[in-house]
């Protein structure tokens, strides 16, 4: 396994958020973290990449605990796509180039610029390189943030609602790219999501969060109407369509 999360607990003052979260992720695998608003999906991602310090538990990258790594060493191994923020006057290219920061010692090299350019190409943003972030649509800005994470060349990609600002066509395109990149480069992707049908379409395994803990975890077999209703308090059925499973609220 490339990522091993064991016994993570996290508390805000006077309020527990996560209790005993444990799971593993393999190379080339996409794990979807699912649950209602406020169940700790973002908090879990931030505990994994050490933005937040858990009250208990350990995150391992291979056989190395995350807390033993420097910030630079961690950033070389783990990319993070957070929820969309407003744009700035920085250019698209310079923003994606920031993904190379963990590798830069004295100066930006041609190698760094080539990797940033390739990340832009991968996300279909090559023609936007000299545009400013505050000139972009929400969906375009989200793609830039994803490209910046890819420029880090990570082993693990953490993504918090990466398609939340995208229209349906771009949602499908971006998640298909993430799946392709994950498979081709052996990247383990952990993706917090709201859309159950996108999760079923693109993820390999699933975690359902409820009441501050993992309610169910596993492959497609855990995505049952009973589990989904227990987590979301909405009755559903699951239908087959063109070889895919589709969640339908009742």
Query: What is the tens place of the pLDDT at every residue in 127-141?
Result: 999 999 988 887 888
Q: Please say whether the beta carbons of 133 and 144 come within 8 A.
A: yes
Q: Please say whether the beta carbons of 81 and 160 come within 8 A.
A: yes
Q: How far apart are CA 57 and CA 20, in angstroms?
A: 8
The pLDDT assigned to 85 comes to 65
Q: Where does the pLDDT of residue 113 fall: very low under 50, low under 70, confident under 90, or very high at 90 and above? A: very high
Ramachandran assignment for 7, one of left (phi > 0), alpha (psi -120 to 50 degrees), beta (any other): left
Higher pLDDT, 142 or 79: 79
Q: Where does the pLDDT of residue 244 fall: very low under 50, low under 70, confident under 90, or very high at 90 and above? A: confident
Higher pLDDT, 93 or 106: 93
For tokens 């972030």, the residue is 133
Q: How far apart are CA 101 and CA 76, in angstroms?
A: 9
Q: How far apart are CA 84 and CA 206, in angstroms?
A: 23
Give the residue-averaged pLDDT of 196-219. 96
Domains of the chain and CATH, by start: 3-249 (3.40.50.300)
The pLDDT assigned to 226 comes to 97
The pLDDT assigned to 241 comes to 85
Q: Transcribe 121-140 into DSSP letters.
A: HHTT-GGGTTSBGGGS-HHH
Query: What is the tens place of the pLDDT at every residue in 4-44?
Result: 999 999 998 888 899 989 999 999 999 999 999 989 999 99
pLDDT of 86 strictly over 70: no
Alpha helices in the chain (DSSP H): 41-48, 71-77, 92-97, 110-122, 138-151, 168-185, 196-202, 225-232
Query: What is the tens place of the pLDDT at every residue in 188-204?
Result: 999 999 999 999 999 99
Catalogue the long-range contacts made by 214-222 (C-beta closer than 8 Å, 24 or more residues apart): 214/20, 214/21, 214/22, 214/23, 215/35, 217/23, 220/245
Mean pLDDT, the chain, integer = 92
Query: What is the tens place of the pLDDT at every residue in 49-84?
Result: 999 999 999 999 999 999 999 998 999 899 999 876
pLDDT of 183 strictly over 70: yes
pLDDT of 242 strictly over 90: no
């Amino acid at each position: 396994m490339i990522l091993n999360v064991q016994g993570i607990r996290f508390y805000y003052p006077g309020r527990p958020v996560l209790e005993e979260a444990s799971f593993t992720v393999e190379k080339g695998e996409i794990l979807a973290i699912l649950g209602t608003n406020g169940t700790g999906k973002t908090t879990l991602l931030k505990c994994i990449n050490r933005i937040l310090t858990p009250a208990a538990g350990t995150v391992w990258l291979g056989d190395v605990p995350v807390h033993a790594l420097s910030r630079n060493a961690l950033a070389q191994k783990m990319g993070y796509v957070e929820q969309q923020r407003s744009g700035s006057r920085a250019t698209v290219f310079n923003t994606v180039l920031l993904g190379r920061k963990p590798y830069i010692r004295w100066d930006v090299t041609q190698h760094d610029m080539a990797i940033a350019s390739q990340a832009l190409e991968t996300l279909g943003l090559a023609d936007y390189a000299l545009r400013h972030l505050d000139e972009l649509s929400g969906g375009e800005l989200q793609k830039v943030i994803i490209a910046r994470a890819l420029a880090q060349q990570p082993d693990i990609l953490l993504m918090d609602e990466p398609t939340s600002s995208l229209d349906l066509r771009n949602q499908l395109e971006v998640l298909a790219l993430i799946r392709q990149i994950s498979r081709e480069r052996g990247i383990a992707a952990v993706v917090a999501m709201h859309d159950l049908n996108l999760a079923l379409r693109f993820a390999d395994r699933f975690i359902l969060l409820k009441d501050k803990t993992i309610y169910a975890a596993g492959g497609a077999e855990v995505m049952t109407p009973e589990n989904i209703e227990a987590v979301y308090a909405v009755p559903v059925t699951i239908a087959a369509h063109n070889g895919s499973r589709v969640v339908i609220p009742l």
